[in-house]
Amino acid sequence: MTPDPTAPWLVVGLGNPGPDYAANRHNVGFMVADLLAERIGGRFKAHKARAQVVEGRLGPPGPASRRVVLAKPMSYMNLSGGPVTGLRDFYKVGAAHIVAVHDELDIEFGTLRLKLGGGDNGHNGLKSMTKSLGPDYHRVRFGIGRPPGRMQVADFVLKDFSPAERKELGYFVDRAADAVEALVIEGLERAQTTYNS
């Protein structure tokens, strides 16, 4: 199904605010949102819904481009649903036009999976969004892999990417941003064909 070209898409990068968290695995959604903002030539500004937003267009100039609102909730990860609901109401966006970009433990580092709906798989950001919105929004799942040895999941996601991962991180963040663009412009099925590895 082709999205309504007049409705904006709300692309939400999930993460935790503040410099202490900036390079954490849990903040890869913020990293992708930052890159998309760079691509559309916008700067994040504070929004009354407790989020930072950038408005612009994704895609080639002309009728194929899509209106987007890029957002980074400024609540902590486990409270993401509040800001996202505020933005949904402010921009009058349906759930089918919402995309969450988030880290995913059950996928190997750098692997992407795009889907519509589903469970939260223990991810606190998704849990909060689903509680507020219902489950029927898009997800761009960025694989971070499982913690090594006996490391707790909470410790793992709140650590920075390893030096080896950081060498490839830029490439994978770029690819995730491409996947978001493809999802918004071409639709889920075509984007899945290209990016679900």
CA gap 46, 131 in Å, rounded: 24
Active site residue 26: yes
Alpha helices for 47-187 (secondary structure H): 81-91, 124-133, 153-157, 163-186
Quick one: what percent of the chain has pLDDT higher than 70?
A: 96
Tokens representing 77 are 């990860």
**Mean pLDDT in residue range 169-195:** 97
- pTM greater than 0.85 (yes/no): yes
Q: How many CB atoms lie within 10 A of CB 21?
A: 16
**Mean pLDDT in residue range 143-158:** 94
Q: Is 80 exceeded by the pLDDT of residue 3?
A: no
Per residue in 14-39, pLDDT (tens digit) is 999 999 999 999 999 999 999 999 99
Catalytic residue among 26, 47, 102, 123: 26
